[in-house]
Copies of this chain bind each other. A is one copy, B any other.
Amino acid sequence: MRIKMVIEYDGSNYHGFQIQPNAITIQETLETCLAQLTGETIRITAAGRTDAGVHAMGQVISFDTASTIPDDRFCLALNRFLPDDIKALSSRQAPDDFNARFNAVKKTYRYSIYNSAAGQILVRKYALCLNETLDIEAMQQACRYIEGRHDFSSFCASGSSARTFERNVMKCELTHNGVWLTLEMEADGFLYNMVRITVGTLLEVGRSRLSPQDISSILEVRDRAAASPTAPPQGLCLIKVDYPDTLRIQEQ
């Protein structure tokens, strides 16, 4: 049967999701633990292949298994083998052709910024730590230019294998709560480093080195060099992946 599983992880100690030689990854750890649980060689597909240091609260993976473990108990069974920084939250049988990556219709990422001199130590692995005056209203205005269907070439790291650069950003919302600044982005898909380049560019707006309107021209030129440096990975977290209702995967 094909399984759809929702997982969360602390990416601090991994070289990203995707398997690679000579470095420990989330994928390798999951596949090793699935092998220990089932005795099978299992290859998994993930909705979003997060980079080194990036976290997830709602990553989705799909894989096949001949195991007789009931689909909804699979997550509990797997948790007995997983290390304490990876956890399976739920599992369900999915249609045989379900693919966690290609069937995704929407992904939600959150980027957390902690803006205070005191207390950085306790959040340093889960937020970008700053201590500067930012024009938050200008940053929020800039978010309005990100939202919508655009060619996001300027917000895509070189080395991307993407064939099209148009994406539909349904939500790009910056909220401010005391020392915390949180950017939530929802889109039908994300280009390589798209959230982190967006954050880096919004910060330049916050520092008044760019105006909110500059986002428009940055998008127009379709050139990575027009946007600002990429924000570091530890502030980023994959929150949620949505699939079409027509897939009829039982609610979890």
Contact = CB atoms under 8 A, between A and B. Distances in A.
A7 to B, nearest CB: 9
A119 to B, nearest CB: 5
A94 to B, nearest CB: 20
A57 B126 contact: no
Copies in the complex: 2
Interface in A105-159: 117-122, 124, 126
A84 interface: yes
Nearest to A87: B121
Contact of A57 (B8, B118, B237): B118
A58 interface: yes
Contacts of A4: none
B10 A121 contact: yes
A122 B10 contact: yes
A92 interface: no
Nearest to A55: B122
